[in-house]
Amino acid sequence: MFKLTVFLLVHWFKFFEVIYKMIGLVADIVGLFGVSLVLGCYFLLQTGRMSQSSFQFSLFNLIGAILVLMSLWVHWNLASVVIEVFWMFISVYGLINAHEQKA
């Protein structure tokens, strides 16, 4: 009975180790997608294909910041969280301004 209990405990912990690694991988993928959105917008801005005052620019930056924050929930880094929170607030401000300019 003792061997069975130890066997089950060891495999139980291995199961959670695999789940933890999978969660980390998903968080990395989500974060990389967010970074690609932000960098893509910056590239389009620098090449003149997107306007800094456009609704899409602020929207993609907001979505990118949210996705990076989601990855930071798993891979915590205070400095990165702070910059992403401010990135979100600035993007919301840009969305509001873009909406008001349309009206």
- Give the model confidence (pLDDT) of 60-93 as tens digits: 999 999 999 999 999 999 999 999 999 999 999 9
Structural domain span for residue 84? 2-102
7 vs 91, higher pLDDT: 91
Amino acid, single-letter form, for residue 10: V
Q: How many CA atoms lie within 13 A of 86 on its CB side?
A: 5
Rounded to two decimals, what is the model's pTM? 0.84
Structure tokens of 30? 């989500």
Q: Which residues contact 77 (CB under 8 A, 6 or more apart)?
A: none
User: Domain tally for the chain?
Assistant: 1
With a pLDDT cut of 90, the percent of the chain lying above it is 77
